[in-house]
Structure 1
Amino acid sequence: MPFAAVAVVIAYLAGPGSGLAGLGTPLPEITIEQVDFVDGEIRATVRNTGPMPVDVVIADVNDRIQPAAIEPDKHLERFETAVVRIPFPWNEAEPYRIGLTIDDGTRFEREVEAAAPAPEAGLELLGSLALIGTYVGIVPVMLGLAWLPFIRRISGRHYAFFLSITVGLLLFLGIDAIEEAAEVADENLSESFNGLLLIATVTTLSFLALYYAGGRLAAAGKSGLQKPMAVGLMIAVGIGLHNLGEGLAIGAAIGLGQAALGAFLIVGFALHNTTEGMAIAAPASRAGATVPMLAALGLMAGAPAILGAWIGGFFYSPFSAVIFLSVGAGAILQVMVVVLRWIRGQDGVGLSGAPVAAGIATGMAVMYLTSIII
């Protein structure tokens, strides 16, 4: 019955009641998602983010109309994209305002603070981004795993303290991923995409999907896989998804010609990620993990930074960046819940105890201090 009623309402709005949808005056909107500077040419990637089809008819640079070619064509249906190619003798490091006017006379623009040549896709850039991803993701996580021998020798309340540090680290990473996603959505996504709602939806779906997968993994633990190792595996997956987002940010900065920002991100993330290995080492220390197992977990957590750098450098889009960062946030928050449940199950340890509170506070403080360089 409810489905039948909904079908009747939809049929009415599509037929006799179609005039109701026409109330008010819809406004066109286009979004200039990316601007690339190549030899003697400026290329602007534009998307129709308004409710109606539009035609791009005029391009200008610094308020001066310029000849332009639009590929594949000037007509854009809703959410369709095109590349506007503007022959222009631009100068490196100078600011530019790129404007596009549609058929009803409305003009939209995007400002570039300092022009920089877009890197050329090829094996050299592929190798450079892979090296950067290794430096930012794999190396710091492996260094953080060096905490393992120390954590293995402690017990009881001290171990609960280090597990709680892991919770603090993960909590900070989750908040950081959501903040980065919100920043990308605010600066680059049209309001028609509902950026904050997109972040909330993807984060929640990621959390639920991984919560289900974690339950299956825990069930597998009863048949041979040790629970501490299962938790370490989930932490590695969550951190790996977060590092995918970090690699995406670095690759995008380099791919968009923002060399200075890319350098800051590389140094900052490398320092920041040395603490992530500790988050894996804490549960793995109780699982009798071998060196190959630890290396596999470290690669699982760090290697996605390489993939993220490739995606950001060659195929960057604000929409995909928000999706990846939100998935990482959901994964990290799910792992944090799993670790808290595990701490509660430890003998003589409660979530309201001093070791837990001190550990979470320490983890948050360490992550904040290592993040201020970014």
Structure 2
Amino acid sequence: MDDGLPIHERVPHWVLAIAPLGVLAFVVGLLVVTSPFGDIESMAGASTADILRMLTIVGFLAGVVPVAIGMLWFPFIRALDYRLVHGFLALSGGVLAFIAFEMIGEVLGYGAELESASLASLAGIGGVAATFGIMYALSKWRQRTAAGTEKSGLHVAYLIAVALGLHSIGEGLAIGTAFVLGRGELVTLLVIGFVMHNIMEGPTVVAAVARDRTSPPIHHFAIMGVLAGGPVILGGWLGSLADSALLAMVFYAIAIGAILQVLVELAELIRFDAETIVTRLNATTFVVGVALMFLLEDVVVEGWVLPG
């Protein structure tokens, strides 16, 4: 019976906490049992349109689906005390910081493949600096023109979604490359690995919204989910059509600049509600965010999926 209360007040907190994990287990189990990409070798003579269509499905499963699952933690996060919400924001910062650090290695790796060191430097440093500067200027302009003084978590959530989306292009590049090589089992493993990896992107996006007084309309969650996970599809297309170290390097550099700006926004969001950014809880959850991504990226994806 609907008593008019929001879901985080009608459903026990423990249910809100574990429900997304149940959905994740179902999706991963379905992929393991069905191995839906095991016949990719048969697409050797497929048309470009068929390849792009298949990569759209693969990218949707690897990108949009896990982000959507992670967003299911929003009611749980929203029910927490504001200090715990700040802890989730700090955890988001740890997730983003780890991703940025990992992408620095990717930028250096792709830069080493370029014949021109000056071009590599321009693409790497210039991409990071230009993206950070543009996003920072736009953020300050928005703050000056916003009606009212309330710091918008929804605005920050959109920035996080965009930054994560830029990072997701790199995941799509890996999937697209494996696809055109006809390695169906590797594509399946990459999708499973990225589903488990990208599950953390959902709460990373919605944690900023949880500290706002009112929940945004549902369409905002749908848009942010597509922004954060959808670019896996774009990366898959690019990986299947063009093998360009320069292109990959530019995308990674842009993503790093976007993430650095988002980290500034997260810090300002916490400072808006609290006297200090660095508390014992925030420091702990930041480290937890880094550790979780290390396990999901370096242990699950690098250690389990990629070998062989």
Contact 1:251 1:308 (8 Å CA) reproduced: yes
Letter matched to residue 210 of structure 1 = M
Distance 1:347 1:123 in 2: 52
Letter matched to residue 357 of structure 1 = A
Distance 1:353 1:255 in 2: 48
CA 228–263 in structure 1, closer or farther in 2 if over 3 Å, else same: same
Between structures 1 and 2, the one with greater helix share: 2
Q: How does 1:1-374 map to 2 (within 5 A)?
A: 120-186=46-112, 188-192=113-117, 194-196=119-121, 198-222=123-147, 227-257=152-182, 261-287=186-212, 288-348=215-275, 350-371=276-297, 372-374=299-301
Using the TM superposition, give the Cα deviation of residue 233 of structure 1 relative to its aligned residue in structure 2, in angstroms. Answer: 1.0
Letter matched to residue 157 of structure 2 = G
Specify the SS of the correspondent of 2:211.
coil
Higher Cα Rg: structure 1 or 2?
Answer: 1
Which consecutive aligned stretches of 4+ in structure 1 deviate over 6 angstroms post-superposition? none
Letter matched to residue 151 of structure 1 = I
CA 261–198 in structure 1, closer or farther in 2 if over 3 Å, else same: farther
CA 264–150 in structure 1, closer or farther in 2 if over 3 Å, else same: same
Between structures 1 and 2, the one with greater strand share: 1
Report how many residues are paired: 257
Distance 1:126 1:222 in 2: 43
Using the TM superposition, give the Cα deviation of residue 352 of structure 1 relative to its aligned residue in structure 2, in angstroms. Answer: 2.4
Cα deviation code 1:221-253 (max 9, x no counterpart): 436996111111111111111112221232133
Using the TM superposition, give the Cα deviation of residue 118 of structure 1 relative to its aligned residue in structure 2, in angstroms. Answer: 6.6
RMSD over aligned Cα atoms: 2.4
Structure 1, gaps ≥5 residues long: 1-116
| Larger relative contact order (Cα-Cα within 8 Å, sequence gap ≥ 6) | 2
Contact 2:110 2:249 (8 Å CA) reproduced: yes
Letter matched to residue 329 of structure 1 = I
Letter matched to residue 204 of structure 1 = A
Distance 1:193 1:259 in 2: 38
CA 182–263 in structure 1, closer or farther in 2 if over 3 Å, else same: farther
Using the TM superposition, give the Cα deviation of residue 156 of structure 1 relative to its aligned residue in structure 2, in angstroms. Answer: 2.7
Contact 1:168 1:359 (8 Å CA) reproduced: yes
Contact 1:141 1:301 (8 Å CA) reproduced: yes
Provide TM-score, normalisation by structure 2: 0.76
Distance 1:189 1:341 in 2: 38
Letter matched to residue 286 of structure 2 = I
Percent identity between the aligned chains?
31
Distance 2:163 2:189 in 1: 24
Structure 2, gaps ≥5 residues long: 1-42, 302-308
Distance 1:191 1:131 in 2: 37
Using the TM superposition, give the Cα deviation of residue 184 of structure 1 relative to its aligned residue in structure 2, in angstroms. Answer: 2.5
CA 175–118 in structure 1, closer or farther in 2 if over 3 Å, else same: farther
Distance 2:162 2:51 in 1: 27
Using the TM superposition, give the Cα deviation of residue 257 of structure 1 relative to its aligned residue in structure 2, in angstroms. Answer: 4.9
Letter matched to residue 280 of structure 2 = A
Partner residue of 2:25?
none
